[in-house]
Amino acid sequence: MEAINNLISGGVVQDIMFYVFAALTLLCAILVVANPFSRSPVTSAMFLVLTIISMSGLFLLLHAFFLAAVQILVYAGAVMVLFLFVIMLLDLKEEQRRKIKFFGLAAGLVSVSIVAGIFIKSLASIKLTAEPALEGETYVLGKLLFTQYTLPFEIISILLLVAMVGVILLSKKKLE
Amino acid sequence: MDWNFIIFSLVKLAIIVGVVQGLVAYSVLAERKISAWIQDRVGPNRCAPPFAKYIPILGPLLTRWGMFQPLADGLKFMFKEDFTPAGVKKIYFFLAPAVAVIPAMLTVAVIPFGSVMGSQKMVLADLNVGILYTFGIVSMGVYGIVLAGYAANSKYPFFGGIRSSAQMISYEISMGMSVIPVLLIVGNLNLSKIISWQADNGWLVMYAPIAFIIFMVSSFAETNRTPFDLPEAETELVGGYHTEYSSMKFALFFLAEYSNMVSSSAMMVTLFFGGWTLPFWGLDHPATSLAMGLAHIGVFMLKMLFFMVVFIWVRWMFPRFRYDQLMDLGWRTFLPLALVNILITALWLWMRS
């Protein structure tokens, strides 16, 4: 009994959960782009949903409950449903038969390595300080967004607005 | 986190799942009974095992009200042939019912169904982001329906799936927007805190009636109940997304729909009708004795059952929307209304502060 108590409270379970979620995230992410069993876009989309869900599991382990919930709500619940909606209306057969082109593969690898390079560089430059305050986290996040990061926040909002107006304009049949 | 926590959580989990399943089974019976009364019929009235009539006092009641109908339905579902039509996408065909049920069952995890009993809070997971969690899980519910429609490899289920995904996304937005006034007033995302605020200041439906109306109608749309049951519109789409399903797989879709009903009734009670609190008989503060804890759970169940009956009543009283009317209501009526509601609530709070 005592041993089990120690095991649970000692963070061992958290560590195990981290590795489980991390492995799931990586596995599902690989299956999104390179699934050896199926080339159906719907399968890829479903694995992307699983990737997002396991990533929100990682957020949970970091006690970032708000981010985890928003991750599922926005990406898995709304964006991916729209993806699926569009994919299902497309001609799936043609997409499954399509050959992988060398140029596409090379371009993909190059862009992935560039992003990975930026990621590693920025990770290396982070100095670990004391753990941030996580209680009342939604409040803290909101306060940060509207004080310290107001300008980037507003710029992103305007970007989204512009994109929205553009989409509405494009999807109208006649422009005049 | 210790050993005690795990044991009590497991017990609570077992009770919640058991109660929700029981509610689902008997809300099917209630649905049939209420529809019968509305349509001037009798409804299920004779399903009972032969020994039931020999039970003293209770016997005649048990045999007359069809109290064993859910049991018979369950057995029937289990013993029917589990038929897999040719040409279905097998994996998704098997997966879809499960994907539909899991989110439906997960939502109840954060709902405080009572105050305290002893030292235990009567909620499975007292999350700080309770509302967002529920919305996240509810939004996952659409995958079961979409996958079912896609897997069946047949026209009508596919239409059902497509309709469902469009409908869910449209109403999720107005549903999410409709609770923002509640969050503004209370200033917290935790469902327990929302209830304790209501215990102090009165039920939120009095502060945000428009929010409640939008929330209720949107939850009808989210649970695919009439007047929003276009994904399974019998007259147009045969049976919609579950046309090709039979036996227990079909039953799982049924279970998902009714569990969704249970959890959205619970959400309405929690957000707008004070959860387990009652303004009189001293029931408005956390329980100090076991009896009061039980009374709180009873109050919560009663309020929830009321909304379940409303769900059923609406289904048999109102015709289905046309698809363009549905979209129009979601995007052109509810969304602007919810936005204006947020603005007005914010202004009101600003004036008061």
Read off the pLDDT of residues A83-131 as tens digits, 9 standing for 90 and up. 888 887 776 666 666 677 788 888 989 999 999 999 898 888 877 665 6
B184 at the A interface (CB within 8 A)? no
State the pLDDT at residue B236: 74
Tell me which chain A residue has its CA closest to the CA of residue B190.
Answer: A136
The pLDDT of residue B140 is 86
So what's the pLDDT on residue B56? 74
A3 interface with B at CB cutoff 8 Å: no
Domain residue spans in chain B? 97-352
**Quick check: bond before B227 cis, omega within 30?**
yes
**For position B330, what pLDDT does the model report?**
84
User: Residue B122: what pLDDT?
Assistant: 77
Residue segments in chain A with a per-residue pLDDT below the cut of 70: 1-10, 91-98, 128-136, 174-176
Q: What is the mean pLDDT of residues B309-330?
A: 86
CATH class, range A1-108: mainly alpha
Q: What is the pLDDT of residue A4?
A: 57
User: Which positions ≥6 away from B108 have C-beta within 8 Å?
Assistant: B16, B20, B124, B259, B262, B263, B266
Model confidence over B53-81: pLDDT tens digits?
777 777 777 777 778 888 888 888 888 88
Nearest CB partner across the interface for B139, out of A78, A89, A138:
A78
**Mean per-residue pLDDT for B265-273?**
89
Indicate yes or no: CB of A8 within 8 angstroms of CB of B2: yes
- With pLDDT > 90 as the criterion, what percentage of chain B qualifies? 4
- pLDDT confidence of residue A176: 56
C-alpha–C-alpha distance, residues B165 and B225, integer Å: 15
pLDDT at A8: 56
Q: Which of residues 120-139 of A touch B (CB under 8 A)?
A: 136-138
Q: How many CB atoms lie within 10 A of CB B279?
A: 12
pLDDT at position B100 over 70: yes
pTM, rounded to two decimals: 0.85
Set of chain A residues whose Cβ sits within 8 Å of the Cβ of B139: 72-73, 76-78, 81
Does residue B31 contact residue B73 with C-beta atoms inside 8 Å? no
At B89, is the pLDDT very low, low, confident or very high (cuts 50, 70, 90)?
A: confident
- Model confidence at B7, pLDDT cuts 50, 70, 90, reads confident
Rounded to an integer, the average pLDDT of B111-127 is 78
Specify whether the CB–CB gap between A47 and A31 falls below 8 A: yes
Q: What's the rounded mean pLDDT across residues B145-153?
A: 84
Residues in chain A with CB shorter than 8 Å from the CB of B155 are none
| pLDDT value at B123 more than 60 | yes
Rounded CA gap, B63 and B73, in Å? 16
**Collapsed DSSP state (helix, strand, coil) of residue B116:** strand
Chain mean pLDDT for chain B? 84
Q: In this complex, which of B135, B140, B162 lies closest to A88 when CB atoms are compared?
A: B162
Give the residue from chain B lying closest to A135, CA to CA.
B128
pLDDT reported for residue A133: 55
- A10 contact B CB<8A: no
